[in-house]
Amino acid sequence: MVTEPATAPDAAASKPDQNSMVCYFQGDYVKLGDAKISIMTHAFLYGTGVFEGIRAYWNPDEKQLYALRVREHIVRLRNSSKIMLMAELPSVDEFTEIVLQVLRRNHFTEDAYCRPSVYKNTEAIGVRLHGLTHDFYVLAIPMGDYIDTEKGIATGTVSWRRTSDVSMPSRSKITGSYVNPAFSKSEAMLNGFEEAIVLTSDGHVAEGSAENLFMVRDGVLITPSVTEDILEGITRAGIIEIAGYLGIPVRERSIDRSELYIADEVFLCGTGAQVSPVASVDHRHVGDGHVGPISRQISKAYFDAVRGRLPAFRHWVIPVYKSE
């Protein structure tokens, strides 16, 4: 059992190695290096698990770590689990507290990433979802920026298509389904781009390899509908909320690939990507090739919100450390 700190730790304290970090596994808080499963575990053999990625942001002025939209992530995790026939789980409140405990017990004084996962833990050969037991874990590690959020990234449309919901539930974060974005990301990077633009099976823009997509045309923020085989992104919903706060109109509709070439601005968003402006698509500059004014405005509001600096969005964050 790893003890829980009452308040935020000293930022100068030594940092443990990854295996010494605290996770929740099989009903207890243990060191990450001690959390092990058998290679016969069904989720390892067949990808039959679901997960969430939750960011926590360090506010050095307040000496506080803010966990971002934990309850929304847990609700989506429970929905994904239901789709995968794994319905018996802790309540949203109980699961949220476990996430906060893992963050707290790791004494983070920097930005962090938390991954709760529910997985089929039966040790058995055989492709199916029914008749299997399941368990869950929560781990957390330090994590800074995943994609460059300042200068804009170079993207390229890839040949792989976004998995259709009739083949794999697009609105669920199923571990096995992430082979599809892995193919897309590697194709893009091996072709000299930093990120992929992935199309649906009928040729409309879906998202990045693992990020939702927005474009700006004539002052309007446009994003594919949730019926376009995209993940129902929590960051995506947050961007729409921020746009309303800033008075920026939003439309959800299909986007053609060629529209990205003539868009005024494009950016990707997600828990990992945060808000990542796109400088080019398929070797064509987006706008003037620099971060556009609406992307910059939304990005600033987002990063203020996630660190607890924007009062209108304090409902997004939960302080991890208890006050003195």
155 secondary structure, DSSP code: E
What are the start-end ranges of the H helices in the chain?
Answer: 42-46, 70-83, 92-105, 179-190, 234-246, 257-262, 293-306
What is the Cα–Cα distance from 302 to 309, expressed in whole angstroms? 10
Handedness of CA 284, 234, 159, 181 (dihedral sign): positive
Measure the CA dihedral 156/159/160/166, to 10°: 110
Give the pair of three-digit tokens for residue 301: 């509001």
What is the Cα–Cα distance from 197 to 158, expressed in whole angstroms? 6
Catalytic one among 15, 173, 185, 322? Answer: 173
120 tagged catalytic: no
Distances (CA, A) of 84 to 131, 132, 197, 284: 12, 11, 28, 41
Q: How many CB atoms lie within 10 A of CB 291?
A: 22
The catalytic residues are: 173
